[in-house]
Every structure is written in structure tokens, then in C-alpha cells.
């Protein structure tokens, strides 16, 4: 293959570039489509194939439908507590207070929400939800379209982007960021998967809306496409990542298959049982039982299994019991779950419980941003925004989820911050300014990785190295973590990096070459995995999803802070958590019990 360089590729110029066509990307693009700015959404899959489509249970927001007295401040309190107090309270306040507007907008766009008898949007209880700042009992705050809320949301957003005439570069793969001499982001190198044509997509603003990276683990609810492409690009460009040790393990992934079974099952009245048929969450969370935070439930399940009360031949999973809800409720409220369970667990939940196990689900960390979606790096103790670079959704860490995300908050995060990012980019571009152009050598630098793969003549096989990476993360950085094991994991990752640097793609064809894409994705996974590993090893405490059996207690004195991973030095530093919301008093750290 010929070397690709700045002199033989075309340049396509835009005002704004959105990398990723999922919920946050399409919410941002919708905002920009209406503005008249020249925008392109670069998506490696047709937008409705994005992972947002798999979200089930709903979008949590105080729209005062199930409870006319509901209050976004209660939602904020729950979110701060769920985050184990390292979520930024200015961002959480923004999300919870702006949320209702953003949800009603979706309804006006046509999202087919389920309804209450009075015609308002149906809301169901989810874990970690309370009324009156934890004192008023369980709330029902998760707005739902049956158990297909993500599908309904993603399609509605795509439909409205069609309506507004958004410009999509579908099945284009973004390879690396392009930076100018001032370290500002001026766009990306990308190629059309269909034709193999490479281009420099130049833009004033580049948004990373590339979603999560759950495929760093062997067992995950995430789609095969969730390979952390945006974060990989940012890390390779030397930009930091925040809170990467914080990975959510969803309590109910289908045993063996990994497919998600919504928390809405427990919201509707389902519960977990061990091999003795005992509803064990009554012991771990006496007040809210199966609706405790996801981290709490996942750990309780693992403890049950470790103590020999797991179900099945190998005693390595537990059961989610739903049959007592009756066929009518299951068919009306959880039809998708019934379908998934029959397909992947060979179990009909109307009659039998579903075998489930905690499964990697969500990346709380990501590229650090402010509430406008502007990505930043650090200089001493200051946040320095990176001109030209934005991030939103799971790829970003704004940080509303802190150490543990509450169910239903991720869809809210997508639309609130996708929208905010789109709005801010308009302001920024309309106010003039602009970035210096990148030089030819800057562009060539961003083409290096692609050229190296294209020109490979020997090396490691992608599928094989990916398996090693996923096994390493699963073994050493799972639900429970221990320093000595993690040290070994970090060492193994060094060897795996050697291999990902030397992958061999034997297929050199241009048209729809998926093995080239998979090799590039694996290199992104490695960046994310390494950031995760180093951050997890350094954080010497247990908080939220990060549970260490060698440091079992939360340590507010030393670790009531974000972690910032610097990919150049591969070291971790601390960043203060925001305790300065604008409209309410801050919620101080307290013991987190459910």
C-alpha cells in the first residue's frame, strides 16, 4: 500500500465535527443543524446502530409525572450520593435542573414514551432513587418507553436529524486527532470504511461523542463497537483522562452472554435470589434491598457467589426472579427483556428466573470537560480548556457520575450535555476567533498509525491480542481489586502494548476492510485499558465502583477527589471535586448506605 500523506489526501472543511452518531452526538448535531453552521457527524456505523440503542429501562428525570411533588434537587441529592461524593456538583445540578426541559423536547420530537392513565409520561422506580433527600422513601423517576427507551430515543434523534437535514458521514472511521503547533485540535484524520478513502476533516470544533469502551473487558453488556475510539485518540494526543478507575459493573448481565437485563426489572418488583432461594439483598441493603446502588448490588452478588451460595452447576451466578409479576406486567412493561432472556438464556422469565452475573457496563471516567462540553487539560491545579476539542456522553467525564452512575442517568447525561455542547459551539464559532491551521507535518503525524498498519508485513493477530487484553482486565480490574494483582495486570499490559504496536493486518484491500478497523479499535482499547489500570492501582481506597479488598474503606482525607491520568508520563494526579453548585447548598460527603 502506498504511504498516505498530507499531499495525497483530500481535506473536507467544516465548522463543527461530531465524532459519533449515538445519543450525545446526535443531540449535539441536532442543535447545530438548526444553527446553519456547516456540520458533519462522523459515525463508524449507521447512526441507529450506535450503542444508545441498547439502553433499556429509561431516562431519569424529575418531570413530576409519577409524583407531582418530585423535585430536581432530590434527583441531584441521589446522584451526588450515588457518585459516592466525587461527582462535580455544579455539573450534577445543571443536569438535574435542565433535565426536564430536555426530556420534554424529546417527547415533542415524537419519542414514544409509555404513559400513565392521565396521559403523562410513565415513570418507574430505579435504584438509588429517593424522595425528600433520602428521607421520603423510594421515588419513581425513570421515564420509560417500555424497556426499549434507548432504541426509542436514538431513533427519535435520528429522525429529527433527518428532518433538520443534518449531514452524516456514515461508516467513516476517525483515526486520530490533528493538532496545530499550539496544541489546539483542528480536526481528525478519518476514512470511509466503504471506499477506504482517507481524508483530513478540518473543523473549528471537534466533539468526541464516541461512547464507552466496555470491550476492554471479556464480559460486558456493551456492543462490539464500544472500543473507546475518542478517548484513545485523545490519550494518544497527550490529553488527560479523568476517573478512569471507575467502571460500573451492572448487576444483571445475562450469564454467559453478557446482554443487559434492565434495572427496571427490579424497579417493577423483580428481585435477586441465591442458590438457597433467599432474597439476599435484604441482608446487604435492608432499606431499599434490590434497589440499592448498582455498585452495592454487584458486590453483594459477587460475595454471595464467593461464599458458595451461587446458582447453577458451577455456583457462579445468581437468579433474577420475575415470574411473580405475572405475564401481563412482563409483556407490557418488560417485553424486550422477555425476548432477550428467551434468546440468550433459554429461559422464559414468565415461568423461570433469569441467570445473571455482574457485567461491565459503563465507563464513569473519560475526557474531562466542563458543563459546556469543552475538554480541558491540567496545568498545576488549573483546568486549561483545549481549543477546538469537546466531548459529550459516555466518552466525556463532566463529571456527573463520579464513582458510580445511577441507572437512567446516562441517557439524561447524553441529551443534556449533547445539547449544551451544541449550543456552546454555536456561541463560540459565532463569536469569531478561530484556530491556526495545522501544518502538513502535523497532518502527517496523525496519519502515522494508519500508515503503520497498512504497511505491516508481519506481527500479531488482532483477535488474539484482544483476547489477552480482555482477559487481563477481567482478571485484575474487575468488581473487586487488589494491589498485588493489579501490579501484575499493569505489567501484562506493557507486554500487550508491545503487541498492539505491532499488529499485522494481512488484508490490504480498501473496500469495507473490517480487519483494519478492528486493529485500530484494539489500539484504542489498549489506551483505555492502560489508563484504567494505572488509575485503579493508584487509588488506595474503596469508593463507588472501585472496590479494593486491600483498602476496603473510603478515604475522604486523601481521595475525596478526581483522578487525572496523564498519558505521556503515565502517572496519576488529583483534581478537586466541585462542591459549588449555583442554586442550592452543596451536599457534603456522608456515609453512603442504602
Q: Which residues are catalytic?
A: 294
Query: Do 386 and 265 form a contact (C-beta atoms < 8 A)?
Result: no
Nearer to other proteins, 107 or 132 (CB): 107
Tell me how far, at minimum, the Cβ of 250 lies from other proteins, in Å.
14
Tell me how far, at minimum, the Cβ of 427 lies from other proteins, in Å.
24
Tell me how far, at minimum, the Cβ of 570 lies from other proteins, in Å.
31
For residue 543, CA distances in Å to 381, 396, 460, 551, 579 come to: 23, 20, 37, 10, 18
Per rule CB under 8 A, is residue 313 in the interface with other proteins?
no
Edge-first strand listing for the sheet containing 241-242: 241-242, 561-566, 571-576
Task: Give 254's contacts (C-beta < 8 A, 6+ positions apart).
Answer: 260, 261, 340, 341, 344, 345, 354, 355, 356
Task: Give 396's contacts (C-beta < 8 A, 6+ positions apart).
Answer: 24, 208, 366, 367, 368, 369, 373, 375, 417
Q: Please list every residue from 444 through 463 that binds other proteins, using CB under 8 A.
A: 461-463
Stretch that binds other proteins, among 89-97, 98-106, 367-375, 404-412 (CB under 8 A): 98-106
Nearer to other proteins, 511 or 591 (CB): 511
Per rule CB under 8 A, is residue 388 in the interface with other proteins?
no
Per rule CB under 8 A, is residue 43 in the interface with other proteins?
no
Query: Do 259 and 253 form a contact (C-beta atoms < 8 A)?
Result: yes
Stretch that binds other proteins, among 29-37, 203-211, 290-298, 499-507 (CB under 8 A): 499-507
Stretch that binds other proteins, among 91-99, 106-114, 281-289, 412-420 (CB under 8 A): 106-114
Question: Binder to other proteins among 470, 515, 524, 578 (CB under 8 A)?
Answer: 515
Q: Please list every residue from 210 through 269 that binds other proteins, using CB under 8 A.
A: 223-225, 257, 259
Q: Please list every residue from 408 through 427 that binds other proteins, using CB under 8 A.
A: none
| Nearest Cα to Cα of residue 291 among 324, 268, 310, 309 | 268
Per rule CB under 8 A, is residue 34 in the interface with other proteins?
no
Question: Binder to other proteins among 276, 313, 507, 553 (CB under 8 A)?
Answer: 507
Q: How far apart (Å, rounded) are the C-alpha atoms in residues 192 and 203?
A: 18
Q: Which three cell numbers stand for residue 171?
A: 461508516
Other CB atoms within a 10 A radius of the CB of residue 217 amount to 27
Per rule CB under 8 A, is residue 468 in the interface with other proteins?
no
Q: Which three cell numbers stand for residue 252?
A: 444483571
Size of residue set near other proteins by CB under 8 A: 60
Query: Do 229 and 523 form a contact (C-beta atoms < 8 A)?
Result: no
Nearer to other proteins, 285 or 330 (CB): 330
Other CB atoms within a 10 A radius of the CB of residue 346 amount to 10
Binding mask 157-196 for other proteins (x = CB under 8 A): --xx-xx------------------------------x--
Other CB atoms within a 10 A radius of the CB of residue 495 amount to 11
Per rule CB under 8 A, is residue 119 in the interface with other proteins?
yes
Query: Do 128 and 3 form a contact (C-beta atoms < 8 A)?
Result: no
Per rule CB under 8 A, is residue 118 in the interface with other proteins?
yes
Q: How far apart (Å, rounded) are the C-alpha atoms in residues 94 and 274?
A: 40
Per rule CB under 8 A, is residue 514 in the interface with other proteins?
yes
Q: Which three cell numbers stand for residue 219?
A: 464480559
> What are the residues binding other proteins (CB under 8 A)?
45-46, 48-51, 53-54, 63, 65, 100, 103-104, 107-110, 112-121, 145, 148, 151-152, 155, 159-160, 162-163, 194, 223-225, 257, 259, 336, 339-340, 343-344, 461-463, 505-507, 509-515
Amino acid at each position: 500500500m502506498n504511504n498516505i500523506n498530507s499531499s495525497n489526501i483530500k481535506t473536507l472543511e467544516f465548522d463543527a465535527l461530531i465524532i459519533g452518531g449515538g445519543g450525545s452526538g446526535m443531540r449535539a448535531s441536532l442543535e447545530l443543524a438548526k444553527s446553519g453552521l456547516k456540520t458533519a457527524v462522523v459515525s463508524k456505523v449507521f447512526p441507529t446502530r450506535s450503542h444508545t440503542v441498547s439502553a433499556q429501562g429509561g431516562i431519569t428525570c424529575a418531570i413530576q409525572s409519577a409524583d407531582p411533588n418530585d423535585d430536581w434537587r432530590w434527583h441531584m441529592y441521589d446522584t451526588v450520593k450515588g457518585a459516592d461524593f466525587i461527582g462535580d456538583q455544579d455539573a450534577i445540578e445543571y443536569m438535574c435542573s435542565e433535565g426536564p426541559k430536555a426530556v420534554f423536547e424529546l417527547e415533542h420530537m415524537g419519542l414514544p414514551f409509555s404513559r400513565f392513565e392521565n396521559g403523562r409520561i410513565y415513570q418507574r422506580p430505579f435504584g438509588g432513587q429517593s424522595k425528600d433527600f433520602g428521607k421520603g422513601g423510594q421515588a419513581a423517576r425513570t421515564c420509560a418507553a417500555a424497556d426499549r427507551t434507548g432504541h426509542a430515543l436514538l431513533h427519535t434523534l435520528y429522525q429529527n436529524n433527518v428532518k433538520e437535514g443534518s449531514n452524516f458521514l456514515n461508516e467513516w472511521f476517525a483515526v486520530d486527532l490533528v493538532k496545530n503547533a499550539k496544541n489546539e485540535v483542528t480536526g481528525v484524520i478519518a476514512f470511509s470504511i466503504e471506499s477506504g478513502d482517507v481524508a483530513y476533516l478540518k473543523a473549528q470544533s471537534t466533539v468526541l461523542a464516541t461512547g464507552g469502551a466496555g470491550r476492554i473487558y471479556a464480559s460486558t453488556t456493551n456492543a462490539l463497537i464500544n472500543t473507546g475510539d475518542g478517548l484513545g485518540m485523545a490519550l494518544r494526543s497527550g490529553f488527560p483522562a479523568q476517573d478512569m478507575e471507575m467502571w460500573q459493573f451492572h448487576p444483571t448481565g445475562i450469564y454467559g452472554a453478557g446482554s443487559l437485563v434492565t434495572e427496571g426489572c427490579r424497579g417493577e418488583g423483580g428481585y435477586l435470589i441465591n442458590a438457597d432461594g433467599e432474597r439476599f439483598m435484604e441482608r446487604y441493603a435492608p432499606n431499599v434491598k434490590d434497589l440499592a446502588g448498582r455498585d452495592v448490588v454487584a458486590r453483594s452478588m459477587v460475595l454471595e457467589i464467593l461464599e458458595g451460595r451461587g446458582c447453577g452447576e458451577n455456583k457462579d451466578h445468581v437468579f433474577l426472579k420475575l415470574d411473580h409479576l405475572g405475564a401481563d406486567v412482563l409483556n407490557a412493561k418488560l417485553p424486550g427483556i422477555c425476548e432477550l432472556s428467551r434468546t440468550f438464556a433459554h429461559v422464559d422469565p414468565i415461568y423461570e428466573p433469569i441467570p445473571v452475573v455482574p457485567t461491565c457496563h459503563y465507563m464513569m471516567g473519560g475526557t474531562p470537560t466542563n458543563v459546556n462540553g469543552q475538554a480541558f487539560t491540567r496545568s498545576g491545579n488549573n483546568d486549561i480548556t483545549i481549543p477546538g476539542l469537546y466531548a459529550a456522553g459516555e466518552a466525556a467525564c463532566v463529571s456527573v457520575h463520579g464513582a458510580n452512575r445511577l441507572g437512567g442517568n446516562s441517557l439524561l447525561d447524553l441529551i443534556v450535555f449533547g445539547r449544551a455542547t451544541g449550543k456552546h459551539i454555536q456561541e463560540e464559532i459565532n463569536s469569531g476567533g478561530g484556530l491556526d491551521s495545522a501544518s502538513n507535518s502535523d497532518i502527517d503525524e496523525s496519519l502515522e498509525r494508519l500508515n503503520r498498519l497498512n504497511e505491516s508485513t508481519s506481527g500479531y493477530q488482532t483477535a488474539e491480542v484482544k483476547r489477552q487484553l480482555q482477559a487481563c482486565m477481567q482478571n485484575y480490574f474487575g468488581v473487586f481489586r487488589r494491589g498485588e494483582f493489579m501490579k501484575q495486570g499493569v505489567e501484562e499490559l506493557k507486554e500487550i502494548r508491545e503487541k498492539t504496536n505491532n499488529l499485522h493486518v494481512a488484508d490490504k484491500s480498501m473496500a469495507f476492510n473490517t480487519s483494519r478497523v478492528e486493529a485500530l479499535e484494539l489500539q484504542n482499547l489498549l489506551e483505555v485499558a492502560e489508563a484504567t489500570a494505572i488509575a485503579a492501582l493508584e487509588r488506595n481506597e474503596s469508593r463507588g465502583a472501585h472496590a479494593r479488598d486491600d483498602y476496603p474503606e473510603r478515604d475522604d482525607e486523601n481521595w475525596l477527589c478526581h483522578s487525572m491520568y496523564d498519558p505521556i508520563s503515565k502517572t496519576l494526579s488529583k483534581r478537586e471535586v466541585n462542591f459549588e453548585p449555583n442554586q442550592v447548598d452543596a451536599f457534603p460527603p456522608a456515609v453512603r448506605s442504602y
